[in-house]
Amino acid sequence: SRKDDVLPDRLFEEKVDGGPAQGKRLQRDHLEKLLDDYYEARGWDRLTTAPTRKTLEALDLKSVADDLEKQNH
């Protein structure tokens, strides 16, 4: 799930020692945007990270999509 797609805090707190990003830190909002793009590219819901109905149907799994929809309502 999305809560598991995290990086260690130190990557946001410590500056990069060398290379083209020297002196910079990773920004949390940038990571969130990258995750959104990653999930969307794979056809996953951004919040739950579960495959979307459209993705399941494209994989010929309409019955699974129907079952999941029933469970969530």
CA distance 40 to 52: 9
Check pLDDT > 90 for residue 38: yes
How confident is the model at residue 56, as a pLDDT? 97
Could you count the other beta carbons within 10 Å of the beta carbon of residue 2? 15
Q: What is the pLDDT of residue 72?
A: 79
What residue ranges do the domains of the chain occupy? 2-71
pLDDT band at 3 (very low <50, low <70, confident <90, very high): very high
For the chain, the average pLDDT equals 94
Per-residue pLDDT at 49 exceeds 80: yes
Residue that has been written with the tokens 């990069």 in this structure: 16
Q: Is the pLDDT of residue 73 over 90?
A: no
